[in-house]
Structure 1
């Protein structure tokens, strides 16, 4: 893949792409499903070819200027479908007229040629059009077409899934800037879309010269990994299974998707290859016991005249057996109410299934997976402080949270209160928030928590992470109740978050590269 995409670039084109728009024109031949589906009325049902929808979704937020075109004479149902598709993804739409004489490009394409870095993507190349495009400094990408003139300077790809990485490496080549890096990223689709909509993953370089491209598990990963400079990953999105009996000794007992497993093997075999962040640094965050042990190390930050910073009191249990459990609670000096959490912190379906328990009898028939941890429930005025460490920058936001225990107990009906902390977390009502009368600005010692964030960065060795802090009403203790890798940090405004995000990635990459070279 590398030799095809890079060597095909015209060596006589020296003008850099930076400071110019990058335009990508997609011919109908690469978007429409060539097989079609014939209905009973013998009408062809127009549809996108496999992989086209994902491509268009990613191009929409790529910071590239994209247009869809089609040749003159395309059936009305197909041209109408393409026009609607272009409008759906906020792309340009360009029906082409038949070329005649020496005018093979329309006026708009000629205009783009002088001020933009342009790609024309097709699965069938008209010889005259090809020559005219190249004469006007267009790069032509041909998909699955082996009949294109040899040595024509056309970039060949065999599948639509190759287009994004081909664009990324071609743009980097055109820039000719040694500070530009291609970042391959891996995460689940919903997370990718959330980041992409905020402008996090531009293919046209970010302000600090980062080019982002998704790694595709449909293509050979080894060749993709040779194209990118580093990999940004949310490895927990690719966990298939965790053996709870092995959870205390991560990474033992973790099964990953085949694609992620291949990336892990590649990184192990290429010790100088950069991933953000190293897999071993993330494993402790999969285990709530290990998280607790990390947080306990922060308690030394507390000093006279400052609030106490601490982890919540907790107990690991292997069984919900009443008699044995009563003894364990007494020894751990834990009292009700208690939050019951699975020991496995993320990566599996039930990792966020929890319960709030008000008395010992409520442990019977509890559905929270074992092994589990019992954690003190802290009355915190229904406010939670979400902190994000993005490189060297620290941000925080205040959010409404669970009500105090007395409110929850009165509404529990004498049963455990079960919830999923990602979906159905009980949140205080407006009336309960008014009753608490919490003054947010006076509640939190921000300097103390920022010191904790800096120490956590050293302890964890992570580039981007988040943690949640609650302030105990009775004591003013600052209690860190959650810790996670690569959060969405959606509460941070995009115009602040994205530059910090890009800077954090680039600084981490440069730092790790420097370490491997010394």
Structure 2
């Protein structure tokens, strides 16, 4: 499905340099124009051959700046020959044209250069040219932010086969970088024929969505606020950024458009109470002779008033220690602020947001098993986790132990890990958990999700303590994760289209 020839992209200096900061004149220190750094960062992991070029007569400080920029992003750097006769391209660019499909992106008009490029079968993309070009073979776009989508569209239409699909993705920058560094988002088609392009909320979304075949998103990255007093059921009680709101409106208007995954399928994972209800249903999967699979025992509370709380705990047979979690599971700043409480008096002035979920704390030998469901594949990894409750209590100083589960989770020391291995050698029953993974996939209707399992000391119960959408699955080796990731996306698209045709 992938293209047979490599794709080369050359970025002209005029495209990258900020004209306000000297525009490459050498009069002031050169700098990148707004948007150029994001472009370079994305191109670095695009699986294209990228180079930066400029005329040989550029001032030395500008040339040095561009060469350093190219090196930082692992790009090539080349200089165009000084105008003389008909020699307008350097030898490397001539060589690329013989072995690759080549694109040249620029913000300046040079008819002679364009003609020379086109004579060697280069495609020219002109960005933000005030006077434009009369050459009909040049692709003109108005903003730098349009370049990646334009390039992806050209690759799909002119170079790749008709079976290649374009995936528009939307997520926060840090998450995008984590995925991109692993090669997740190639602009050059993946082995199973996918091209990835970021959706820009700075451009009209309608025109972008008309070009892509599907949307991959992490909608929780675009949540502005969630009303904790509202039963979280998409979109009730949830406020999104303007860009994500526009995607939501688009999907309401075009419900047959492929999105990975539908918002309504993801919304239960925003609410720890709904997650609990989902996990409780898995307890029916128990098999004789196998470990018990279950959800942690838990209770929703709207306040931390002592007498009322004691009564609720007694009615649900919950005992200390308890881990206290906000009911809102993700998408807001304090969703991961938690506490471990050892006695009812410690609820006084507790800072965990309300409403909250009180959950039994499970001694689990400081090991947590992270499971990732990526399409039809199930992966898992073992990570160090929190120590047993007795060790945590001894260091708490009669105070609740507060932490952020993403940043300050109290992880067991080497000595505690060794002690746990001596005390309990129970292991994970992978078959039991993989069966649960398949049931979760079917019931949730999600393409990519993750969940965490701990094995309770003493009983050997397998307890699922967390469930989340589109995790990073960074513990899975790239050689296994990337093919599974691409296959999952393609299979989801084909399944969606197949259902729409029947």
Return the TM-score normalized by structure 1: 0.94
In the alignment, structure 1 residue 27 sits paired with structure 2 residue 12: yes
Question: Which sits farther off after the overlay, 147-156 or 122-131?
Answer: 147-156
Matched with 1:392 is 376
Work out the CA distance in 2 between the residues paired with 1:56 and 1:249: 39
Asked if structure 2 preserves the Cα contact closer than 8 Å seen for 1:397 and 1:491, the reply is: yes
Distance 1:433 1:333 in 2: 30
Q: Which structure 2 segments of 5+ residues have no match?
A: none
Does residue 261 in structure 1 map to residue 245 in structure 2? yes
The CA distance in 1 between the partners of 2:332 and 2:236, in whole Å, is 15
2:282 pairs, out of 298, 302, 305, with: 298
Aligned to 2:305: 321
Cα distance, 1:144 vs structure 2:
1.2
271 and 441 in structure 1: CA distance in 2 versus 1, 3 angstrom threshold: farther
Q: Deviations over 1:99-142 (max 9, x none)?
A: 32222222111111111000011111311211111111100000
State the shift of 1:61 in Å.
0.4
**Pairwise mapping of residues 156-235 of structure 1 onto structure 2 (< 5 A)?**
156-235=140-219
The Cα shift of 1:78 comes to: 1.0
Q: Establish whether residue 370 from structure 1 lines up as the match of residue 357 from structure 2.
A: no
Q: Which of 457, 461, 469 is 1:485 aligned to?
A: 469
- Tell me the distance in 2 between the aligned counterparts of 1:429 and 1:346: 28
How far apart are 1:20 and its partner, in Å?
1.3
Q: 3-state SS of the aligned residue for 2:354?
A: coil
Which residue number in structure 1 is paired with residue 389 of structure 2? 405
Aligned to 1:10: none
Q: 2:232–2:270: 8 Å Cα contact kept in structure 1?
A: no
* Count of residues in correspondence between the two structures: 500
d(CA) in 2 for partners of 1:373, 1:271: 34
Take 2:162 and 2:293, find their aligned partners in 1: how far apart are those partners?
44
* C-alpha distance in 2 between matches for 1:187 and 1:324: 42
Give 2:133's aligned residue: 149
In the alignment, what sits opposite 1:277?
Answer: 261
- The equivalences for 1:494-509 within 5 A come to 494-509=478-493
Q: Is contact 2:233–2:267 with CA below 8 Å preserved after alignment?
A: no
**Alignment partner of 1:437 is 2:445:** no
Give me the whole-angstrom Cα distance separating, in 1, the residues matched to 2:266 and 2:246: 18
| Alignment partner, residue 78 of structure 1 | 62
Q: Is the 8 A contact 1:247 1:343 kept in 2?
A: no
What SS does the corresponding residue of 2:247 show, helix, strand or coil? helix
CA deviations 1:50-80 (Å, max 9, x no partner) are: 0000000000000001000001211111111
| CA distance in 2 between partners of 1:488 and 1:186 (Å) | 14
After TM superposition, give the deviation of residue 359 of structure 1 in Å.
0.1
| Contact 1:239 1:347 survives alignment (8 Å) | yes
Residue 149 of structure 1: how far off its partner (Å): 3.4
- Tell me the residue number matched to 1:512: 496
Identify if the C-alpha distance between structure 1 residues 59 and 439 changes in structure 2 by more than 3 Å, giving closer, same or farther: farther
The 2-side partners of 1:437 and 1:181 are apart by: 48
In the alignment, the residues of structure 1 paired with residue 132 and residue 123 of structure 2 have an alpha-carbon distance, to the nearest angstrom, of 14
- Whole-angstrom CA distance in 2 between matches of 1:234 and 1:362: 36
For the Cα contact (< 8 Å) 1:247–1:344, is it kept in 2? no
Q: Tell whether the 8 Å contact from 1:17 to 1:175 is kept in structure 2 after alignment.
A: no
**2-structure distance, mates of 1:129, 1:151:** 12
**Which of the numbers 434, 440, 447 marks the counterpart of 2:431?**
447
1:193 aligns to what SS in structure 2?
helix
1:31-110 matches, cutoff 5 A: 31-36=16-21, 43-110=27-94
Deviates more, 1:54-63 or 1:151-160: 151-160
Is residue 244 of structure 1 aligned with residue 228 of structure 2? yes
Structure 1: runs of 5 or more not aligned? 1-15
CA contact (8 A) 1:17 1:171 kept: no
TM-score, normalised relative to structure 2: 0.97
Cα–Cα, structure 1 residues 72 and 262, in superposed 2: closer, same or farther, change >3 Å? same
What secondary structure, in the 3-state scheme, does the structure 1 residue paired with 2:230 have?
helix
Counterpart CA distance in 2 for 1:130 and 1:461 is 50
- Separation (CA, whole Å) in 2 of partners of 1:457 and 1:190: 27
